[in-house]
Amino acid sequence: MNEHTTFRLISVLVLLLTLGMHVLAWRMLREVLGTDATRRRSALLGVFVLMSTVAVYIALFSGYPLPPGVAKTAIWVFMLWSLLLALGMGMLWLHRRRLRSLEQPTVDEKRRELLLTGASGLTILTFGGAVFDVSSEEDVEVVYKSIAIRRLPAKLHGLRIGMISDIHSGPFMEKKDIDRYVTRLNALNTDVILLPGDFIQNRNEEADPLCESLKVLRAPYGVYGSTGNHEFFADADQVSRELGNAGIIMLRNEHRIIDPHGEKLALIGLDDVRSGHPFPALFRKAARGLDPAIPNITLCHKPYYIEEAAEYGLDLMVSGHTHGGQIVLARLFGAVLTPASLISGYIEGLYSLDATQMYITRGVGMTGLPIRVNCPPEITVITLVKAGAD
Ligand SMILES: [Fe+2]
C-alpha cells in the first residue's frame, strides 16, 4: 500500500469517527432537551447536518473544487466546531449524570433554555472564530542557523544558504501566500537557495501557480530542489519538469558542483526515499562520479536517514517533511511535544551523528488540515562556518 492510499484510508477513518461523534452528540442533545420541535432546535439540527456534510467534503475531496478561500474557511469552521462539540458533549454528559444522581429524569424549562442558548452560542463562536482565524495571516519566522562543517574550505566560511520546504501548493497555499515567502526569501540575499521537496499537495495543476511564484527566486549560485513524497502523489516527473522551466535546478538522484569564491561545494539531491527506492540506492546514483573529498550538502526530503548519511560520510543533510510537527502541544527543555513524535524523534532543528549533521526545517505549508499550532512557518538561513573558526 503506497503512502497516498494510506492517507486516504486515514481520512475515511477520521470521517467515520467524526460522523459517529455528530450522531452521538445530537442524540445526547435531543435526550436532554426533549423532542418538542422548536425553531432553534431545527436550526441546530441544520448545523449538525451542514457540519457532517463539510466533514464528508474534507475527507473525500481535500479542499477541491471550492475556491481556496472558501475551502479553507469551511475546514476552519469544521475544526472549531468539532472542538467545541467535543467540549459540549463532555458538559452534557456531566449534566446527565448529575440529573440521574438527583433522580430527576427530565430537564426543567429554565435549564433547557440555558442549554439551547449555550449550544447556539457555541455555534456563533465557531463561525466567528473561524472567519477571524482565516482572515489573519500567519507570520513566517526566519530562522538563522550557523552550522560548523569540519572540512569546509576557509573561503566558504560564511556562505549563506536560504531554504524553504514543504510549500504544498494547493487549496490551502495559494499563489499570493507563496509570493509572500518568495519575496521574503529573496530579500535575505542568500548565496544559494535550497528547496527540499513537497512543492505541491497532490495534483499536477498545483505546480502552475507555484512555478509562477518560484520563477522569481534569485541566488548567485542557483536555486536547487529535490522531490518530496507529495510530488509522487501526482506525476513527479511532470512537476519536476515544470519546476525546471521555472528556473529551479531539480536534483533527482544527481549532484552539481558549485564553486563560490573558487572553492568546490557539492549539492546532492535525492528523490523522496520511499518503498522500493531506499536511501542507499538513491544516494549511490546521486553521488556517482563525485569526488568524496569535496564537502557536500544533501537534499533529502524525509529526515529519517541520518544513520545512512553518516555511513556515507555526508557533511550536511537538509530535510523537511515533518512541518515541525505542525501541531505542537508544548516545547519543554528543548523537546517538542507533538503527535508527530509518535512517528519519529526527528522533528525540527539540528541533529548530528558522528561527523554528519542534519537540519530539519519546519517548512511553510500544511498537510492534512490547514492549521499550524504553536509551530509557525519557517524560512531558514543557514550560514556555513568552518569548524573551529570564530
Ligand atoms: Fe510536507
**pLDDT per residue as tens digits for the range 363-375:** 999 987 778 888 9
Q: How far is the CA of 40 from the centre of ligand 1 (A)?
A: 42
pLDDT band at 129 (very low <50, low <70, confident <90, very high): low
Confidence check: pLDDT of 314 > 90: yes
How confident is the model at residue 288, as a pLDDT?
96
Looking at the DSSP assignment, which residues form a beta bridge with residue 337? 330
Q: What is the pLDDT of residues 17-56, one digit of tens each?
A: 878 888 888 777 777 666 665 777 777 778 878 877 877 7
Quote the ligand 1 centre to 97 CA distance (angstroms).
44
What average pLDDT does this structure show over 196-224? 96
- Percent of residues, the chain, with pLDDT higher than 70: 85
pLDDT at 53 (0 to 100): 80
- Over residues 336-346, the mean pLDDT reads 84
pLDDT in tens, 228-287: 999 999 999 999 999 999 999 999 999 999 999 999 999 999 999 998 999 999 999 999
**pLDDT(111) > 70:** no
- Interval between CA 142 and ligand 1 midpoint (Å): 18
Q: Range with the lowest mean pLDDT among 137-141, 317-321, 332-336?
A: 137-141
| Cα 359 to ligand 1 centroid, rounded to whole Å | 15
CATH superfamily of 141-386: Metallo-dependent phosphatases (3.60.21.10)
CA of 282 to the centre of ligand 1 (A): 20
pLDDT higher for 124 or 132?
124
Q: What is the tens place of the pLDDT at every residue in 270-289?
A: 999 998 999 999 999 999 99
What integer pLDDT is reported at residue 120 of this predicted model?
Answer: 61
pLDDT at 294 over 60: yes
CA of 280 to the centre of ligand 1 (A): 22
Instruction: Judge contact between 147 and 359, C-beta under 8 A.
Output: yes
**What separation in Å is there between the alpha carbon of 160 and the centre of ligand 1?**
24
**62 CA distance to ligand 1 centroid (A)?**
15
| Ligand 1 mean position, distance from CA 156 (Å) | 30
Mean pLDDT of 211-220: 98
Answer with the residue of higher pLDDT: 103 or 191: 191
State in Å: Cα 349 to ligand 1 middle.
Answer: 16
- What separation in Å is there between the alpha carbon of 166 and the centre of ligand 1? 4
The confidence score (pLDDT) of residue 1 equals 64
CA of 107 to the centre of ligand 1 (A): 49
Separation of 86 CA from ligand 1 center, angstroms? 28
135 versus 30: the higher-pLDDT residue is 30
Give distance in angstroms: CA of 137 to centre of ligand 1.
20
- Would you state the pLDDT for residue 58? 73
Domain boundaries, the chain: 3-135, 141-386
What confidence score (pLDDT) does residue 339 get? 82
Averaged pLDDT, 143-147? 97
Q: State the distance from the centre of ligand 1 to the C-alpha of 200, rounded, in angstroms.
A: 9
Q: Distance, CA 360 to ligand 1 centroid (Å)? A: 12
Find the 320 Cα to ligand 1 centroid distance in Å.
7
Distance 323 CA to ligand 1 centre (A): 6
pLDDT on residue 9: 80
Q: How far is the CA of 199 from the centre of ligand 1 (A)?
A: 8
The rounded Å distance from CA 38 to ligand 1 centre is 47
Cα(253) to ligand 1 centroid in Å equals: 19
pLDDT higher at 380 or 52 = 380
What is the predicted pLDDT for the residue at 347? Answer: 92
pLDDT value at 135 more than 80: no
Look at 218 and 111; give whichever has higher pLDDT: 218
Ligand 1 geometric centre to CA of 189 (Å): 25
pLDDT mean over 291-303: 97
Tell me which of 109 and 50 has the higher pLDDT.
Answer: 50
How far away, in angstroms, is 26 Cα from ligand 1 center? 36
Between the CA of 230 and the centroid of ligand 1 the distance, in Å, is 7
Distance (Å, whole) CA 35 – CA 30: 6
326 alpha carbon to ligand 1 midpoint, in Å?
10
| C-alpha to C-alpha distance for 291 and 295, rounded to whole angstroms | 9
State the pLDDT at residue 278.
96
SS3 per-residue string spanning the chain = CCHHHHHHHHHHHHHHHHHHHHHHHHHHHHHHHCCCCCHHHHHHHHHHHHHHHHHHHHHHHCCCCCCHHHHHHHHHHHHHHHHHHHHHHHHHHHHHHHHHHCCCCCCCHHHHHHHHHHHHHHHHHHHHHHHHHHHCCCCCEEEEEEEEECCCCHHHCCCEEEECCCCCEECCECHHHHHHHHHHHHHCCCCEEEECCCCECCCHHHHHHHHHHHCCCCCCCCEEECCCHHHHHCCHHHHHHHHHHCCCEECCCEEEEECHHHCCEEEEECCCCECCECHHHHHHHHCCCCCCCCCEEEECCCCCCHHHHHHCCCCEEEECCCHHHCECCEEECCEEECHHHHCCCCCCEEEEECCEEEEECCCCCCCCCCCCECCCCEEEEEEEEECCCC
Share of the chain above pLDDT 90, in %: 54
